[in-house]
Structure 1
Amino acid sequence: MNFGNRATRLTLQILVMLALLAVGVVVMLRPYLTDDEDLYKQGRIDEVVSKGPVTVASVEWKLDSLKVYTSILDDEGEPIELGGPAGSTLVLATLTVTPQKGLYLKDHGFTCDALLRDSKGNTWDDTQATGYPLPTYCGDDDHPFTIDKPAKIAKVYIVPKSAVPNLVGLTTEDFYLHRRVLITP
């Protein structure tokens, strides 16, 4: 064998090895890179919107304000007891929600979940604040909803005081489409 044939043969062997290595990497990582449900379960944010409006699961969301309080007052001016742990603060989000066509309004209400999120990926559920002037959930009999008619709601969150500087906004999601949107103030 001469030197030219050896070099060609070695080059082809290296190219075949690199091709096999690339195929192996793609086959091995493909389930992790394309498994949309697992990425959704891990908290992936699909879209970031400043204030809105944004439509998620046939509901249009618009964040009007996101403020921190030590206490909130009911419609008679009395403090609302929420039972948070010592050292916690209240975050009040005021939103405009519009149920759209395709959303089922059961007894003029619907489910409107929005989680408070910080920059570290921590989330907090809202708390019922009975007596607050705005409805704190979208199934309130006193505040019925109508398709294509905007309405104001409030979401109240109890968070540790140390998390307040890291808060980034609210997340709302469509479970069936595996879509999560972050609405920032």
Structure 2
Amino acid sequence: MRLASRASRLTVQIALLVALLAAATIIMLRPYLTDTERIYEQGRIDEVVNQGPVTVAHVEWKLDSLKAYTTILDKDDEAIDMGGPAGSTIIVATLTVTPREGLFLKDKGFTCEATLRDTHGNTWDSGQPFDYPLPTYCGDDDYPFTMDKPQQIAQVYVVPKSVVPDLAGVTIEDFSDYRRVLITP
């Protein structure tokens, strides 16, 4: 009887130890697992979409093309200087953007930006080439936006030539909901 009493006490102690370890693990990891802002800041991708369309923050996005160039031309067929270092490549992402219900169109435009991303998590912000044939942002007076009407824009990036094979697509972000969507070509 003494042996059975010891075995049951040992079983209860082990079960209590496992329960305490599980509770301690949950308490210690909970801030890291549920802090969506911190996880978002580290570059988390919430959704991957092939070409789209995908709606983020009341704007529908569709990636039409993602092409690499050594130079780009303006409306008069003259080279646009993007100011990149020697050996860099110019990437042009052509996107169809449609403002949807719930978006505030100020002066027939809104803020929109797509960030270029590679497979290693590196990102590049778009540049603003002067006189490019397509609008390069969604607030251009020459290309006003109207609700529920799609319009093409171009996002132009200057990247090192070595990363071109690793480019994954463009990311669209919603800062208020901590949501990031990767649109692949």
Q: Quick check: TM above 0.5?
A: yes
What is the Cα deviation at residue 26 of structure 1?
0.5
Q: Distance in 2 between matches of 1:83 and 1:37?
A: 34
1:16-56 superposed Cα distances (whole Å, 9 cap, x missing partner): 00100110001000000111111011110000000000000
- Which residue of structure 1 aligns with residue 56 of structure 2? 56
- Which residue of structure 1 aligns with residue 93 of structure 2? 93
What is the Cα deviation at residue 87 of structure 1?
1.6
Q: Distance in 1 between matches of 2:25 and 2:54?
A: 38
What is the Cα deviation at residue 11 of structure 1?
0.8
What is the Cα deviation at residue 76 of structure 1?
1.0
- Opposite residue 133 of structure 1, the aligned amino acid is P
Gaps of 5+ in 2: none
Q: Distance in 2 between matches of 1:130 and 1:115?
A: 19
Q: Distance in 2 between matches of 1:9 and 1:87?
A: 72
1:123-182 superposed Cα distances (whole Å, 9 cap, x missing partner): 000000111110011111000000000001001000011111110000011110111100
Matches within 5 A, 1:7-156: 7-156=7-156
Aligned residues: 185
Q: Distance in 2 between matches of 1:150 and 1:130?
A: 23
Q: Distance in 2 between matches of 1:56 and 1:134?
A: 22
Q: Distance in 1 between matches of 2:92 and 2:132?
A: 11
What is the Cα deviation at residue 2 of structure 1?
1.0
Determine helix, strand or coil for the equivalent of 2:67.
strand
Determine helix, strand or coil for the equivalent of 2:72.
coil
Q: Distance in 2 between matches of 1:183 and 1:96?
A: 12
Q: Distance in 1 between matches of 2:173 and 2:129?
A: 23
Quick one: percent identity of the two aligned structures?
68
Determine helix, strand or coil for the equivalent of 2:60.
strand
What is the Cα deviation at residue 75 of structure 1?
1.0
Determine helix, strand or coil for the equivalent of 2:138.
coil
Q: Distance in 1 between matches of 2:181 and 2:149?
A: 22
Gaps of 5+ in 1: none
Q: Distance in 1 between matches of 2:10 and 2:104?
A: 67
TM score, norm. by length of structure 1: 0.98
